[in-house]
Amino acid sequence: MFLTRRPSIDHERMERMTFARDNLGKIIELGSITDIRARPLTGLDSGRLIAHFQRMNEVDRYTRFFSAVSDDGIRNIVNGFDWSRMIAVGAFRNNLLLGIAELGWEYGQTPARAELAMSVDREYRNVGLASWLIKGPLRMGQDRGVREVYASWIGGNDPVGRIMNRLNARMSMDRSVCRADITLDPLFTGATEPDPRCCPPVTR
pLDDT digits (tens, 9 = 90+) for 25-48: 455 555 556 678 888 999 999 999
pLDDT above 90 coverage of the chain, percent: 28
Which pLDDT value is given to residue 13?
37
Instruction: Tell me if the pTM is above 0.85.
Output: no
pLDDT at position 148 over 80? yes
Provide the mean pLDDT of the chain: 76
What is the C-alpha separation between 50 and 83, in angstroms, rounded? 15
Which pLDDT value is given to residue 160?
84
pLDDT above 70 coverage of the chain, percent: 72
Query: pLDDT tens digit string along 154-173?
Result: 877 778 888 888 888 888 88
Cβ-count burial 22-52 (b if 16+ within 10 Å, e if not): ebeeeebebeebeebbbbebeeebeebbbeb
Average the pLDDT over each of 13-17, 124-128, 199-203 and give the range with the smallest value: 13-17
Confidence of residue 109 (pLDDT cuts 50, 70, 90): low
pLDDT at position 201 over 70? no
CA-closest candidate to residue 181, choices 95, 108, 115, 100: 115
Which pLDDT value is given to residue 11?
35
- Ordered by start, the domain boundaries in the chain are 11-146
CA-closest candidate to residue 125, choices 51, 65, 60, 69: 60
Q: Does domain 11-146 have CATH number 3.40.630.30?
A: yes
Which pLDDT value is given to residue 131?
84
Terminal-to-terminal C-alpha distance of the chain = 22
